Amino acid sequence: MRRGGPLVAHPARAALISVMVIAAIGVYAFHPTLTQGSRFHLTGLFGGSPGLSPGAPVRVAGYDVGRVSSLERGPGDTAEVHMELDHNAPPLYADTTMRVRPRIFLEGGFYIDLQPGAPRGAKLDDGATIPLSQTAIAVQSDQPLSRFDSKARADTATIVHELARALGGGGARQLRSLTRESPAMLRPSAIVAKASRGLRPGELSQLIDNAAATSDAPVTRELEGVVTDGDRTYRALAEHAGDLGGTIRQADAALRETPAGLRSVDRTLPVLDRYSALAFPVLDRLPRSLRSTSELLAQSSALAQPDALPRLLRTLTPTLHRLPLFEEREMPLFGHVEPVSECVTRKVDPVMDAKLDDGALSTGRPVWLDNMHGMAGSTGVMQDFDGNGPYLRYEGGLSDQTVSTGDVPGAGRLVGLTSRPLLGVRPVWNGPTPPPYAPNADCRTQAVPSLKAEAGPPPVSHPVSRAALRSPKVRRLLRRIERTGR
């Protein structure tokens, strides 16, 4: 190269540079992994025949991240699948899972669906092996048919035959009637399904996570026991099909009677409601009663203590010695009390609970309640707070109708005035002869007394002349009433 002339490269140096660039491009084009570092090797242990071949893709979320390098026979009925993952494969953790899935129709064959796991676990190193519990294979179309042996086919034929008998013997009609009742039956299920969605976001997903954790538990042995017990139950039902049919008929008859029973229960519920309303106040007082009972039991327990029991026995000894004599003396009393109590129960109580018919003046209350009201009224008129003394006071009036009681023992003849004529007399006068009186008669053998009194015709009334009303005797009586009030 000349100084100050044009810049020209040496031919040998330019050729060397061109060869190096072409070699680098070729290496990168045909062996890109040489510039991207070594591959990640992974082994998966699959049960049975996974149906894979060398070169099958390994995918994460649908993207190719590696391929199957080789397959070997594993321990037992397993297969070891060796894989090589590219540099773009995500990091793998201890809970990594893989599943063999079929490729789309045009691709053919199978691929490995790789799930990297959660970062909370330990990270896998190069050459790690995924255990059999974390792998799964795709089910081939011939595998279910290979499990369908002669016994299974015979059992299936039996099931289909029995199903045909059930549907042909009236089961189809029952199913059709069931469909008419389905809306009312499914409505509660819809309510339950709506409630299963939860009240707050995330509750349903938490339920699914808990159910998944439960399903992953080792319950194989328990499930085998359930299947065995179910097989025994079905065999027993098949051997006693006649008895089972009779039971179903009886259950159907019982279900037909159920609506009437439910209606009876429905009629009972108002009574139960009223009973509950009455029982609630008692229940409110029950804690206080229980506390009192607890205190009584505590006192009784204290009396039964070794240091208190001797003193209690010494105190009760005189009473206990007199108890036989007291019992002997009170026995005759029961003979006198029993007739009285039976007389009150059989003869007096029905009369006091009866209701008297007094026409327009009837109160509709039992006799005992009317007596109580009468006592209250008598107490009101006999009170002496006003200084007039305990006297009954009656207000008299003047009229041209006179009323006479005749001769009353101890009082003579009583005469009164009324503004209206008498309608009748009740009770009817039985005459001067008193009713029979037998103090030694047994009350229990007598008829229940009746308080119903017959009404008789009114007595003859006599009008009073106006001159008699203006007589000096009547005037003196009126002045006395005005002055004394009686």
Tens-digit pLDDT profile for residues 382-401: 555 555 555 555 555 555 56
Asked whether the predicted pLDDT for residue 71 surpasses 70, the reply is yes
Residue pair 74/128 in contact (Cβ under 8 Å)? The answer is: no
For helices 241-303 and 220-239, the axis angle rounded to 10 degrees is: 120
Alpha-carbon span 428 to 425, nearest angstrom: 6
* Pairing of β 128-130 and β 40-47: parallel
Angle at 318 between CA 317 and CA 320, to 5 degrees: 65
Stretch 308-320: mean pLDDT? 81
Asked whether the predicted pLDDT for residue 6 surpasses 60, the reply is no
Burial environment of residue 114 by CB neighbours within 10 A (0 to 12, 13 to 18, 19 or more): buried
Q: Judge whether 195 lies within some domain.
A: yes
**Sheet containing 462-463: which strands, arranged edge to edge?**
412-418, 401-408, 462-463
Closest alpha carbon to 424 in 453, 464, 395: 453
Whether 128 and 166 map to the same domain: the answer is no
Query: Which two three-digit tokens encode residue 296?
Result: 């009584």
In 291-357 the beta strands, taken as DSSP E runs, fall at none
Q: Judge whether 218 lies within some domain.
A: yes
Residue 334: band (very low, low, confident or very high) from pLDDT cuts 50, 70, 90: confident
Alpha-carbon span 129 to 72, nearest angstrom: 13
Closest alpha carbon to 42 in 93, 99, 81: 81
> Which of the residue ranges 215-224, 292-301, 331-340, 362-371 would you say has the lowest mean pLDDT?
215-224
Helix (H, G, I), strand (E, B) or coil at 192: helix
Stretch 118-123: mean pLDDT? 78
Asked whether the predicted pLDDT for residue 486 surpasses 60, the reply is no
Query: What single DSSP character describes residue 456?
Result: B
Whether 104 and 193 map to the same domain: the answer is no
Whether 243 and 206 map to the same domain: the answer is yes
Q: Judge whether 330 lies within some domain.
A: no
Stretch 108-127: mean pLDDT? 80
Angle at 222 between CA 218 and CA 226, to 5 degrees: 145
Is cis: bond before 366, omega within 30 of 0?
A: no
Stretch 264-276: mean pLDDT? 84
pLDDT of residue 8: 45
The amino acid occupying position 174 is: Q
Whether 128 and 160 map to the same domain: the answer is no
Boundary (domain end) residue, out of 251, 276, 299: 251
Asked whether the predicted pLDDT for residue 28 surpasses 60, the reply is no
Q: Judge whether 211 lies within some domain.
A: yes
In whole angstroms, how large is the CA radius of gyration of the chain?
Answer: 55
Whether 91 and 123 map to the same domain: the answer is yes
**pTM for the model:** 0.29
Whether 114 and 163 map to the same domain: the answer is no
Alpha-carbon span 80 to 379, nearest angstrom: 111
pLDDT of residue 15: 66
DSSP state string for 206-253: HHHHHHHHHHTS--HHHHHHHHHHHHHHHHHHHHTHHHHHHHHHHHHH
pLDDT of residue 4: 45
Burial 266-299 (b: 16+ CB within 10 A, else e): eeeeeeeeeeeeeeeeeeeeeeeeeeeeeeeeee
pLDDT of residue 5: 45
427: Cβ contacts below 8 Å, ≥ 6 apart: 453, 454, 456
Residue pair 113/98 in contact (Cβ under 8 Å)? The answer is: yes
Closest alpha carbon to 485 in 392, 413, 383, 377: 392
* Each residue's pLDDT tens digit, 128-148: 888 888 888 776 555 555 556
Q: Judge whether 107 lies within some domain.
A: yes
Q: Judge whether 407 lies within some domain.
A: yes
Asked whether the predicted pLDDT for residue 449 surpasses 60, the reply is yes
Whether 131 and 162 map to the same domain: the answer is no
Torsions phi, psi for 114 (to 5 deg):
-100, 125
Whether 164 and 241 map to the same domain: the answer is yes
pLDDT of residue 106: 52
Q: Judge whether 52 lies within some domain.
A: yes
Residue 119: band (very low, low, confident or very high) from pLDDT cuts 50, 70, 90: confident
Q: Judge whether 305 lies within some domain.
A: no
Asked whether the predicted pLDDT for residue 36 surpasses 70, the reply is no
> 43 lies in which domain range?
39-139
Q: What's the structural domain count of the chain? A: 3
pLDDT of residue 207: 74
Boundary (domain end) residue, out of 232, 251, 270: 251
DSSP state string for 66-99: EEEEEEEE-SSSEEEEEEEE-TTSPP-BTT-EEE
Q: What mean pLDDT value characterizes the chain?
A: 75
10 Å Cβ neighbour count for 40? 20
10 Å Cβ neighbour count for 401? 15
* Each residue's pLDDT tens digit, 175-197: 777 777 777 777 887 787 777 76
Angle at 37 between CA 35 and CA 41, to 5 degrees: 140
Percent of the chain whose predicted confidence (pLDDT) is above 70: 74
Stretch 61-78: mean pLDDT? 83
Residue pair 53/106 in contact (Cβ under 8 Å)? The answer is: no
Boundary (domain end) residue, out of 377, 405, 421: 421
